[in-house]
Amino acid sequence: MKSLKKSGKLSGLIATLLIVFMTSVSAQESDWSNSYKLETSGKYAEAITAIENVAVADAELSALRRGWLYYLQGSYNESIRQYRYAVERNQQSVDARLGVTLPLLAQKRWREAEQNAKAALEISPNNYTALLRLAIALEGQRDWAALKKAGATLVLGYPSDATAYVYLARANAWLNNRAEAVAAYRAVLSRYPGHLEATTYIEKK
Amino acid sequence: MRSKKIQFSILTGIVVTAISPPLFADTWALKATPGVTSGSYSGSQQRDKISDVGLMISGDYLEQGGVTVGYSNTQVNMKNASAIKQDNYVVSGRMNYFPDGLTGRLTLRLDGYQVNNNDATGNTNNVTALAPQISWLSTDGMLYADLGYAKTHYQNQLNVSQLTPTIGFGLNGGADWIQLRSYLISGLNPVRAANKSSTTALDANWTHYFEPGTTLAPSTMSLGFSTGEKVYAVDMDAQSVSNLADLSKGGATVGLGWKVAKDTKLFVLAGQTKYSDVTLNNNYKLNVGYANLTIGW
């Protein structure tokens, strides 16, 4: 009789814990869901607040999301802080390395953005977004020789992409390699007919 | 003991990592700028020629800040007296901030100058200047403003104050840049400053950035005009102290720049400045040529 009572108490405890756990999981899911909905409607500050109480286990995801939302809000310094925190938690995070390039590029901190894009490429070589952000950072520094190299890598890995050819063309144009610039802009027009920058350059030359 | 060894190893590791070429190159942008100036005075009763040779070395850590150190040797040849030989030193530090509310870059800078020469009167020898500056550059790089201040200490109890409010703006998508800087100099001793207790001047500069052309074609051209009067000025762009000059009454410069290689630029400038030696009632001109080479790595 005593053992039955004990077993009944245990079952009750397990059931309570299960309910609490399920409720908590559901609440967590609801927090994320709310945050995504608020982001869609442009309420970035509220979207950040919505994930204030997420579990410690989700700290990395939370930092990445905050970094993104602060970036959208225009709070670039806080965005950088969140992404750096995410990098600290996970050195292999391509997400965090790419994420931090966004506020850095917005603040025109070209060299810091370049450094992070290169760090992302070390983890994930030929990553399209990393190569693109690297190209933007190099263009900002007017480092045309390095931009040409990045553009060539982009073109090699993503031969159907017009943007890759645009960066290659711009680098060659600034390096005064007119024939190579025209060839790259022609490649842009094959992939993006009527591209204004390509058309203008070819007509001018 | 063991703990000290570990601490030393960690410290050594940090230092070696910090200065190892790949990481250093990724984080620090260094440049050296050797420069030469040669000029001749026209119509001066006392002065004949001026020459200056100098070197500036500058390092910037990512976009976070940087330091510059510089040295130059100036020689002013006089007509009827021995030459004035002068050593000019500058140390400058800057920190960049990117406050979200200001949409741009805020820079706090502090320059320190020391000038030593063999001036027989001692009045222009052992000159020190401290010059803080706060500047702002908009995110799109089309607007600039700064406020500079300099306190220059001369021998025999002369302390000169200078305020230099400046604005700059880009035109034609950044192909042209205009900068206006006023010099408000006060605290002068009239006996030592052409009967002036304060002076006001305005420097205007227009720079045009050319589209890429042939290797020989210049990449920039600049025209500068100065109006008004200034004496004992501190030029925070050139990072120099005009401790030897008489009263400046304006002038003009024309400069050309070339991108010689990926990280190498050549800049040449020619200019004429009008001066007045009030004591001798002598107005004269200085025709000057200047060239520098900036090498980055």
Q: Hey, what are B23's tokens?
A: 């990481």
Is the pLDDT reported for residue A19 higher than 70? no
From the list A75, A106, A109, the residue facing B63 with the nearest CB is A109
Confidence of residue B89 (pLDDT cuts 50, 70, 90): very high
Q: Is residue B264 over pLDDT 50? A: yes
Residues B241-256 have pLDDT tens digits of: 999 879 999 999 999 9
The residue among A154, A189, A151 whose CA lies nearest residue A170 is A151
Average pLDDT over residues B178-186: 98
Evaluate if residue B15 carries a pLDDT over 80. Answer: no
Q: Per-residue pLDDT tens for A77-94?
A: 999 999 999 999 999 999
- In this predicted structure, the answer to whether residue A169 has a pLDDT above a threshold of 50 is yes
- Provide the 8-state DSSP code for B230: B
pLDDT of residue B192: 87
Q: How far apart are CA A71 and CA B198, in angstroms?
A: 49
Question: What is the least distance, in Å, from the CA of B212 to any CA of chain A?
Answer: 6
**A149 and chain B: CB distance < 8 Å anywhere?**
no
Q: Would the pLDDT of A205 be above 70?
A: no
φ, ψ (nearest 5 deg) of residue B43: 85, 5
* ipTM value for the complex: 0.78
What does the mean pLDDT of chain A come to?
A: 90
**Residue B120 binned pLDDT confidence (cut-offs 50, 70, 90):** confident
Tokens of B191: 């006996």
CA distance B222 to chain A (A): 20
Task: Give CA–CA dist A179/A24, Å, rounded.
Answer: 63
pLDDT-derived band at A21 (thresholds 50, 70, 90) equals: low
Give the pLDDT confidence score for residue A178 in this predicted structure: 93
For residue A108, give the nearest of B76, B17, B98 by alpha carbon.
B98
Band of residue B10 on the pLDDT scale cut at 50, 70, 90: very low
Of A9-13, A19-23, B156-160, B165-169, which one has max mean pLDDT? Answer: B165-169
Output the DSSP codes for B132-177: EEEEEEETTS-EEEEEEEEEEEETTTEEEEEEEEEEEEEEGGGTEE
A135-144, A154-163, B95-104, B214-223: the lowest-pLDDT one: B214-223
Q: pTM here?
A: 0.83
Could you tell me which chain B residue has the CA closest to the CA of A118?
B26
Which residues have C-beta within 8 Å of that of residue B211, sequence separation ≥ 6?
B175
Q: What percent of chain B has pLDDT over 70?
A: 91
Name the band, by pLDDT with cuts 50, 70 and 90, for residue A22.
low
Q: How many CB pairs under 8 A join A and B?
A: 39
Residues contacting residue B40 through CB under 8 Å, at least 6 positions apart: B48, B49, B50, B286, B287
* pLDDT above 50: residue B38: yes
How many Cβ atoms sit within 10 Å of the Cβ of residue B104?
Answer: 21
B214 in A contact zone (CB under 8 Å): yes
The pLDDT, as a whole number, for residue A3 is 58
Q: Give the model's pLDDT for residue B8.
A: 47
Q: How confident is the model at residue B103 (pLDDT cuts 50, 70, 90)?
A: confident
